[in-house]
């Protein structure tokens, strides 16, 4: 008979859950993980990873369409939508298998099914509809001294724009289209909405984006989002801010949307709608109410080490609140399990968590925006450097972009960094490291960046904040 008694039981195998399981095993805890649908969770199977595969296909297609810009010829360029989707799914399958391998390597059994916490230390698992991977433990009663909830989040549904999986999609359907729609309405302009808008526009869809707030990409610096917006509109994406979709009239193969903007209404008819209005935590059916685990507006309330108000129960990742990012979940899980072990880890600083959007142009940021710094009454120095002043960017044919940094004028502390342009999602980590090491402007100015690289702009932006930029 299979062992049912563990030190640590983790509910959910997304980036937060599986990484926490590995770290728990490394620390000597007898650990198991419960999953009901997909090893690797939403991020790996239906989110971060497969969308990047789709966007890469769109990027290559864009380059082929504009081959002449590079002195090359490519005639009659087209795409196969099914093959693009197939490649994306193959990438996810490979990583899904990888998580299974890591669990075996670290001797973490997978319990397949839906978990409910009956009491502190006791979890019952019932069968799920999804097929269990080979060697997984089945439904039953399990015990663990520490129970970590890592159940993630799902798409938010707004009344009146409920997805039907046919003409009104969530990101699940948007990721596996049988064809690319001729016209598309995206409701919501956060990272998910903008990435899909960018993908489908590149493949030829007539794309409209509607955002209820005054700016697209609401968490980003105003200057950066304004630059991105101009770029998107130049590509042909129609954007409505301070606007909302009040009604969807669904037909067999199209949708007529009523958009309210500035006190006026207009109707547009599109083949498909993507609802990307945020996500909500998966807190239902876990037994939280019975145990009086404190929740707030759909997320579990935790302390700096991810403890809930009930001893022995913890929550990490999307289910414990924003920012709802895979890398936040991973780090949170490691901090949580190390605190359980008594290693006294540093609590996570949310201002040090970078955010990335993989549209074209890419967007990346960390720390305070300029407006947030000013709202805190901080005296700031702001530096900027445009891609047009960088040799590598010009050679790449990617000379449209901007790097922006914000410093505390009194201390020289780097408060925030914000970028838009080619490959900025890879560049941002330089600033993240700098902020974690409490690097000042002086140290950054004395750092030698390699030439020719896009990264040189990161130093130039710092120099600009102090009136010392060299190449612009």
Q: Which residues are catalytic?
A: 451
Q: Which residues are bridge partners to 10 per DSSP?
A: 33, 148
Q: Cα separations (Å) of 79 from 10, 75, 84? A: 42, 13, 8
Number of helices followed by number of strands (H, E) in the chain: 14, 24
**Alpha carbon distance 28, 31 (integer Å):** 9
Spacing of C-alpha 158 from chain mean position: 21
**Alpha carbon distance 275, 245 (integer Å):** 10
Task: Provide Rg for the chain, Cα atoms.
Answer: 24
Residues 385 and 460 sit within 8 Å (Cβ to Cβ): yes
Backbone angles phi, psi at 169, to 5 degrees: -105, 155
Q: Could you please report the per-residue DSSP string of 368-410?
A: --HHHHHHTT--EEEEEEEGGG-HHHHHHT----EEEEEEETT
Residues 306 and 155 sit within 8 Å (Cβ to Cβ): no
**Alpha carbon distance 50, 52 (integer Å):** 5
CA neighbor of 20 nearest in space, from 339, 443, 399, 238: 339
**Alpha carbon distance 258, 237 (integer Å):** 18
What is the enclosing helix (H) or strand (E) of 233?
helix 222-235
């Amino acid at each position: 008979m299979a062992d049912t008694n563990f030190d640590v039981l983790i509910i959910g195998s997304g980036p937060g859950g599986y990484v926490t399981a590995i770290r728990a095993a490394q620390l000597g805890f007898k650990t198991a993980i419960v999953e009901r649908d997909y090893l690797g969770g939403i991020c790996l199977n239906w989110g971060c990873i497969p969308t990047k595969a789709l966007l890469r296909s769109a990027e290559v297609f864009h380059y082929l369409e504009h081959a002449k810009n590079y002195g090359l010829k490519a005639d009659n360029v087209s795409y196969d939508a099914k093959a693009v989707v197939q490649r994306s799914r193959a990438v996810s399958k490979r990583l899904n298998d990888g998580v299974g391998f890591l669990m075996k390597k670290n001797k973490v059994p997978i319990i397949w099914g839906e978990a409910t916490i009956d009491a502190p230390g006791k979890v019952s698992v019932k069968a799920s509809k999804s097929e269990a991977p080979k060697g997984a433990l089945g439904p039953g009663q399990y015990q663990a001294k520490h129970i970590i909830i890592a159940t993630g989040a799902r798409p938010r549904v707004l009344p009146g724009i409920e997805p039907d999986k046919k003409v009104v999609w969530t990101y699940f359907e948007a990721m596996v289209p049988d064809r690319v729609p001729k016209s598309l309405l995206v409701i919501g302009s956060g990272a998910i909405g903008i990435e899909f808008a960018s993908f489908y526009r590149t493949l030829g869809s007539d794309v409209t984006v509607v955002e209820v707030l005054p700016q697209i990409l609401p968490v980003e610096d105003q200057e950066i989002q304004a630059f991105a917006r101009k770029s998107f509109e130049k590509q042909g994406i129609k954007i409505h801010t301070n606007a909302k979709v009040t009604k969807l009239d669904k037909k067999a193969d199209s949708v007529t949307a009523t958009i309210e903007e500035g006190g006026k209404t207009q109707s547009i008819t599109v083949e498909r709608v993507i609802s990307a209005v945020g996500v909500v935590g998966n807190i239902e059916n876990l037994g939280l109410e019975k145990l009086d685990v404190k929740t707030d507006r759909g997320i579990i309330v935790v302390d700096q080490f991810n403890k809930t108000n009930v001893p022995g129960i913890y929550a990490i990742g999307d289910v414990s609140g924003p920012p709802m990012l895979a890398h936040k979940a991973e780090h949170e899980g490691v901090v949580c399990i190390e605190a359980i072990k008594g290693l006294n880890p540093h609590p996570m600083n949310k201002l040090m968590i970078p955010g990335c959007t993989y549209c074209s142009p890419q967007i990346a940021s960390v720390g305070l925006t300029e407006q947030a710094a000013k709202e805190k009454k901080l005296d700031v120095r702001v530096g900027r450097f445009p891609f047009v002043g960088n040799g590598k960017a010009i050679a790449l044919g990617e000379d449209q972009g901007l790097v922006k940094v914000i410093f505390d004028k009194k201390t020289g502390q780097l408060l925030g960094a914000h970028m838009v342009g080619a490959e900025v999602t890879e560049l941002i980590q330089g600033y993240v490291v700098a902020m974690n090491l409490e690097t000042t402007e002086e140290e950054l100015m004395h750092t030698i960046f390699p030439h020719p690289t896009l990264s040189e702009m990161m130093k130039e932006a710092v120099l600009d904040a102090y009136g010392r930029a060299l190449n612009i």
